[in-house]
A = this chain, B = another copy of it.
Amino acid sequence: MPKQYFSLRNLKFTMHELHKAQEVTEYPYFAHLDREAIDMILESAIQIADNILAPCAIEMDREHMAHFHDGKVTVHPSVKKYIKAIGDAGLIASRAPLSANGSQLPETLNVAMAFVMGAANNAITSFAGLTEGSANLILSFGNQHLKDTYLPKMYAGDWQGTMCLTEPQAGSSLHYITSSASPTSEEGKYKIKGQKIYITAGDHDQTDNIVHLYLAKIDGAPAGTKGISLFVVPQKRIENGQLVPNDVKTIGIFHKMGQKGAPAVHIEAGTNDECFGWLVGEPHKGLTYMFQMMNEARIGVGTTGACIASAAYYAALEYAHERPQGQSLNIKGQDPNAPQTHIINHPDVKRMLLFQKSIVEGSLSLVMQGAKYADKIHSTEGEEKEKYQLLLDFLTPIIKTFPTEMGQQSVSSSLQVFGGGGFCEDFPLEKLYRDIRITTIYEGTTGIQSLALLGRNITMKNGKAAMALFQEISQDIKDATTHEDLKKYATALAGKLGEIQKVTQHLVGFAMKGDTERFLADATLYMEAFGILVVAWQWLKQGTAAKLALLTQNPQGDDLQFYESKIHTMRYYFAYEVPKTQGLMTRLLDDEVLTIQVENGILV
C-alpha cells in the first residue's frame, strides 16, 4: 500500500495560508476555537484515518464488502469502531451548535477532516456523514420530541441516519415520488407506505437502529414537489421504552461497482401496514428542508471527488519515483547498456502527475473556498451575510461537479501511470477508479448540477450572485497583478472571464425569448467551461499566496520546494487546462442546434 494518501503540508496551506480558516475564530460564533484547537481537532481526524480507516479500506472492498443474506445486511466490523470514534470525538455533531451539545466547528475544518478521512477510505465515511446530515435535519426542523428521541443517539454514533429520496420511478425528478403518509389519530404521526432505492447505509449490523429521513406525500397533498413532506421513519420505533420493529423491510441490496463497503439498499416501508413516521416541520415543505442537507451533501461529494483523486495521485507519485522503465528520450538508442530511468523522468509521466496534482489541489482549494463562505455566513450579518450566502449557493453545483468530473479523469490518469498494474488489485488504483465513478451521479448528476448553475444560479436575484463571484475573482486578479511574474496568468484569467460572460449573455438571450430548452441544452458544457475558470481562479490565488511566502518568508528546504511546486503547478494549469475552454466556448456560441426537437429516430 502507498505510504501517503494526502499532503498535510498542502492541506494546511489551503486552510490557513490560502483561505485563512482561522480568521473565523475572531467572530463570536467560532470564538470557542483558536488555531491550535483547529489543528488539534484535525490531528484527531488524521489519527482516526490512519489507525481505523486506511487499514480496512481494501478489506471493505473485497472480503468484507456489504452483504445481504437472510434479510440482513452485514458490513465490515470496523464500521462500528469508526462511527463510535467519530461520535466520541464530537464529529458527528461537528456542525451542530454548542447549544445543542454540538461542536460548532467551522466548515473549513469539517472539509479538511472529510478530505483526510475520505482519502483514507471513501466508502466508510458515508456512514457517519449520513448520520450527521440527517440528525442536522431533525435539529433544524424537528420538534422537541424528535430532537430528544433521536439526536443524542445519532450524534453519539449509536444510531445510523439516512436520506430516503429516490424511488424506482423517481430519481432526478423527485416530483414523481409515490411514497404515502396517512394521518393517524396522534398528531404528527403518520402511517408510511412506499419503496426507496439506493439508500446508502440504509441497513447494516453495526448500529442499534437506522433512522430514515424519508420523503413522502401526505394523503391529498398537492401534486408535484409542493406536496412532498419529510418524515422520520426509524427502522425500529420506541414503544414503552423498547425498540420494536417498525415494518421497514430491506428487500435487496445493490451490487455496486465501487464503494462496496457501504451498502446501498432497497427498502420497503409499510409492507404490513405497520410502519409509522413522524412529520418533520410543516407538511409539504419536505423538499425545502431536504435541500439544506442536500447542499451540504453536494459539497461533501465534491470533497469525496477531491480526496479520492488525492489518494490516487500520491499512489501514482510514489510509484513513478520507484518504477524504473526505459531511458530518457534524449539518450535513447545511444547506449543500450545504460540503466533504466525512473518513470517520473519521462515528460509524459510528469505531465500526467502535474495534471493530477493540479486537479487534486485545485479541487481542494475550491471546496475549501465554499467552506470559507459557509463560515462567513455564520460570522457576518446583513448584506455581507447575504453576499456570502449567494456566493456559496452559486458555487455549490460547481463544487459538486468539478472535483468529481475532473477527479475521475485524474484517477484514470493515476491508474495509467501504473500501466498494467493499475488494472490489477496489486495496487489500489483500480479500486479508486471504481469508487469515484459514482460521484458524478449521486446527490444530483452532473446534468442536474449544470441545469442548476446555468438555469438557476446565473440569473438568481437578477444576476447578483454571479456579480458577487466576478467581484471576488476580480479582486484576486488585482492582487496577483502586483507580482510581475503572475501578471501573465492574471491577465489570462481576466480575458477568459470576459469570454464566459459573453457566452452567458448569448445563452441568457434564449431564456429571455422563452426558449428554455435552447438556453439549457448545452448546460453541461457551460458547467465544464465555468468550472475550469473557477479553478483557474483558485490556482491564481494559490500562486499569489505562494509568491508572497517566497518573498516574505525566505523559505528553505522542503518549504521552498513546496512553494515553487505551487507556482509550477499553477503554470501547468494555465498552460494545459485553461485552453480547454476554447473549444467549449466555440461550441456554446455556435448556432448549430442538434439536440432539441430532433426526432428520436435520429439516434439509431
Q: A residues within 8 Å of B by Cβ?
A: 7, 9-10, 166, 169-173, 175-176, 197-198, 222-226, 254-258, 264, 317, 321, 324-330, 332, 336-337, 340, 344-351, 353-354, 357, 408, 412, 415-416, 419-420, 422-426, 430, 433-434, 437-438, 440-442, 445-447, 450-451, 455, 515-517, 520-525, 558, 561-562, 564-565, 568-569, 571-572, 575-576, 579-584, 586-587, 590, 592, 594-596, 598, 600-604
Tell which of B351, B434, B450, B580 touches A595, judged by Cβ atoms closer than 8 Å: B351
Residues of B within 8 A of A579 (CB): 582-584, 586-587, 590
Q: A328-B517, A424-B256, A437-B423 are in contact. Are A587 and B576 (CB under 8 A)?
A: yes
The residue from B332, B441, B564 contacting A422, defined by CB atoms under 8 A apart = B441
B595 contacts A347, C-beta separation under 8 Å: yes
Known A-B contacts A424-B257, A601-B561; the reply to A595 vs B521 at CB < 8 A is no
With contacts A255-B425, A256-B430, A568-B598 known, what are 12 further pairs, Cβ within 8 A? A169-B324, A171-B325, A254-B420, A329-B455, A345-B600, A347-B595, A347-B596, A350-B598, A354-B594, A416-B445, A564-B602, A571-B594
Q: Within the assembled complex, what's the spacing in Å between the Cα atoms of A441 and B336?
A: 25
Residues of B within 8 A of A568 (CB): 594, 598, 602
Question: Given known contacts A430-B257, A565-B601, A598-B568, is B340 in contact with A223 (CB within 8 Å)?
Answer: no
- Chain B residues contacting A171 (CB-CB under 8 Å) are 325, 419-420
Chain B: minimal CB distance from A441 (Å):
6
Collect the chain B residues with CB atoms within 8 Å of residue A350's CB.
595-596, 598, 603
User: A354, B603: Cβ atoms under 8 Å?
Assistant: yes
Q: List 13 A-B contacts (CB under 8 A).
A: A166-B420, A172-B325, A226-B336, A256-B425, A330-B515, A347-B522, A349-B447, A350-B595, A412-B437, A576-B594, A579-B587, A580-B580, A580-B583
Bound form: Cα–Cα A336–B177 in Å: 12
Which residues does chain B contribute within 8 Å of A166, judged by CB atoms? 420
A329 touches B516 (CB 8 A): yes
Residues of B contacting A345 in the complex (Cβ-Cβ under 8 angstroms): 600
For the complex of A and B, list the 7 residue pairs with the smallest distance between their C-beta atoms, beginning with the closest.
Answer: A224-B336, A579-B583, A257-B430, A347-B521, A255-B425, A173-B326, A223-B336
Chain B residues whose C-beta falls within 8 Å of the C-beta of A255 in the assembled complex: 424-426
Residues of chain B within 8 A (CB-CB) of A437 are 412, 415, 423, 433
Specify which chain B residues have a CB less than 8 angstroms from the CB of A525 in the assembled complex: 576
Asked if A325 and B423 make an inter-chain contact with CB atoms under 8 angstroms apart, the answer reads no
CA distance A7 to B603 in the complex (A): 11
The answer to whether A423 and B408 have CB atoms under 8 Å apart is no
A442 and B348 alpha carbons, distance in the complex (Å): 17
A408 with B412: CB separation less than 8 A: yes
Partner of A223 from the list B10, B258, B337, B351 (CB cut-off 8 Å) is: B337
List of B residues within 8 angstroms of A327 by Cβ: 173, 175
**Measured between alpha carbons, how far is A171 from B417 in the docked complex, in Å?**
12
* Residues on B with beta carbons closer than 8 Å to the beta carbon of A197: 420
Residue ID in chain B nearest A604 by CB atoms: B565
B423→A257 contact, CB < 8 A: yes
Given A575-B592, A592-B571, also A340-B524 (CB < 8 A): no
Contacting residues, chain B, for A584 (C-beta < 8 A)? 579
Report yes or no: A450 in contact with B575, Cβ–Cβ below 8 A. no
Contacts of A581 in B (CB 8 A): 583
Contact between A336 and B521, CB atoms less than 8 A apart: no
Question: Does the CB pair B576–A423 fall under 8 Å?
Answer: no
Question: Nearest B residue to A518 by beta-carbon distance?
Answer: B347
Are the C-beta atoms of A565 and B602 separated by less than 8 Å?
Answer: yes
What is the chain B residue whose CB lies nearest that of A578? Answer: B583
Contacts of A522 in B (CB 8 A): 347, 351
**Cβ 8 A contact of A340, one of B10, B173, B412, B433:** B173
In angstroms, Cα B582 to Cα A13, docked, is 34
| A434 to B451 CA separation, bound complex (whole angstroms) | 29
- Cα A575 to Cα B412 with chains together (Å): 26
- A321 and B264 CA atoms in complex are apart in Å by 26
Given A325-B173, A416-B441, A438-B423, also A575-B603 (CB < 8 A): no
Q: Which residues of B contact A587 (CB under 8 A)?
A: 575-576, 579
CB neighbours (8 Å) of A223 from chain B are: 336-337
Say yes or no: A256-B423 contact (C-beta < 8 A), given A326-B175, A602-B568: yes
The answer for the CA separation of A87 and B430 in the assembled complex, in Å, is 34
Q: How far apart are the CA atoms of A347 and B520 in the complex, in Å?
A: 8
Nearest opposing residue in chain B for A356, CB measure: B603
Q: Which residues of B contact A258 (CB under 8 A)?
A: 423
A523 touches B426 (CB 8 A): no
Residues of chain B within 8 A (CB-CB) of A264 are 420, 424
Among A329, A340, A412, A440, the most chain B Cβ lie within 10 Å of the Cβ of A329
Taking the closest CB of chain B, its distance from the CB of A82, in whole angstroms, is 23
Q: Are A604 and B416 in contact, CB atoms less than 8 angstroms apart?
A: no
- The interface residues of chain B lying within 8 Å CB-to-CB of A330 are 515-517
Q: Tell me whether B423 and A441 are in contact (CB under 8 A).
A: yes
Q: Would B329 and A520 count as touching, CB distance under 8 A?
A: yes
Is the beta-carbon distance between B601 and A336 smaller than 8 angstroms?
no
A337 to B198, alpha carbons, bound, how many Å? Answer: 26
Q: Do the beta carbons of A254 and B424 come within 8 Å of each other? A: yes
CB <8 Å contact, A582 and B586: yes
Whether the pair A348, B594 counts as a contact (CB closer than 8 A) is no
Query: What is the chain B residue whose CB lies nearest that of A351?
Result: B595
A582 to chain B, nearest CB (A): 4
Residues of B within 8 A of A324 (CB): 169
Q: Which residue of B lies closest to A599 (CB)?
A: B561
Instruction: Return the chain B residue nearest A572 by Cβ.
Output: B594
Task: Given A562-B604, A586-B582, verify A354-B595 contact (CB < 8 Å).
Answer: yes
